[in-house]
Amino acid sequence: MTCGVQGFAAVGEVMRERALLAVATLAIDLAKREIAAKSQAACVKATRVRVLAAEISGPTAEADLIGFGLDQDQAELLVRGWTCERAAKEKRPSVGQLCEWRQQGQIDDLAYVSSLQNLGYDLDEAQRIATSCGIKLNQRLFREQKQREAELLRAAKAAEAAQKAKLTRDAKLLKAANAYAVAAGLEIEQASAELDAARSIVRQEFELSLNQSVEVVVIAAVNWFPGLGKSLLDLTREYTRGFVEVQETV
C-alpha cells in the first residue's frame, strides 16, 4: 500500500514538472513572438518614414517589408498607402507663386491655368485668376518702364550738368591761362600746362575736389605777376591753405 502511494506521488511530481516545463516553454515562445512583433513593427515604422521622406523607392520598400516577415500583398498594400500619404503631404505652389512664375516666364498661360485647376479651381475660376495675374503683370511692366524712363532722364540730366560744369571749368582755366601767359610771357599751351600741373598737385596734397582745385589755381593764375617772387605752384599752395583754413572754421 505504501509503495502504491509513493508511486502515485512520483507520477504526480513528474506530471507537475512536465506542466511547469510546458508553461515555461510557452512563456518563452510568447516572449519571443512579442519581441519579434515589436521588432517587425519598428522596422515597418522606419520603412514608412523613409518612404514619406522619399529616401527609398516603392519596390525597395516592398522588398524590405517582405524581409521583415510580411507577405507580398501586405507589403504592396502598405507601400501604396504610404505613397498616397506622401503625395498628399507634398507642398504645392500657391496661387501667388504660380502668378509670380508666370510673370517671370517660367510657365506659360496654359501651364498656369492647368496648375490652378490642379489646386482645385474649375476652368472659369482659373481663367479669371489668370486674367488678374496678367493685369498685375502689365501693371508691373508699366511701372518698370516708367522707372527706366525716369532713370534715363536722370542720367541724361546728370550728364548734361556734368558737361556744363566741364565747359565752365574749361572756360575759367582758359581765361586764367591767358592771364598767366601774358604776365609770365609764355605761350598759352605752356601756361595751360603749368596751371594743370599746379591744380593736380594741390588737389592731391590737400585732398580737394575737382572744382575746388580749379578755383584755387584760377585765383592764383590771375593774381600772379613777375615781381611776386613765387612760382605759380607756390602761390596756388598759399591760396589753397587759406581756402582750407576757411573751410575748417565754417
In this model, does residue 7 exceed pLDDT 70? no
**pLDDT tens-digit readout, 153-198:** 999 999 999 999 999 999 999 999 999 999 999 999 999 999 999 9
CA distance 152 to 149: 5
CA distance 20 to 15: 9
CA distance 143 to 148: 9
Q: What is the DSSP string of 79-139?
A: HHHHHHHHHHHS----HHHHHHHHHHTSS-HHHHHHHHHHTT--HHHHHHHHHHHHHHHHH
**pLDDT tens-digit readout, 44-79:** 888 888 887 777 888 898 998 998 888 898 888 898
In this model, does residue 15 exceed pLDDT 60? yes
Residue 210 CA: distances (Å) to CA of 57, 85, 202? 70, 71, 10
Neighbour count for residue 197 (Cβ, 10 Å): 14
**Chain mean position to CA 28:** 61
**pLDDT at site 52:** 76
CA distance 146 to 161: 22
- Residue type at 109 in one-letter notation: D
* pTM for the whole structure: 0.47
Q: In the chain, where are the structural domains located? A: 2-89, 162-249
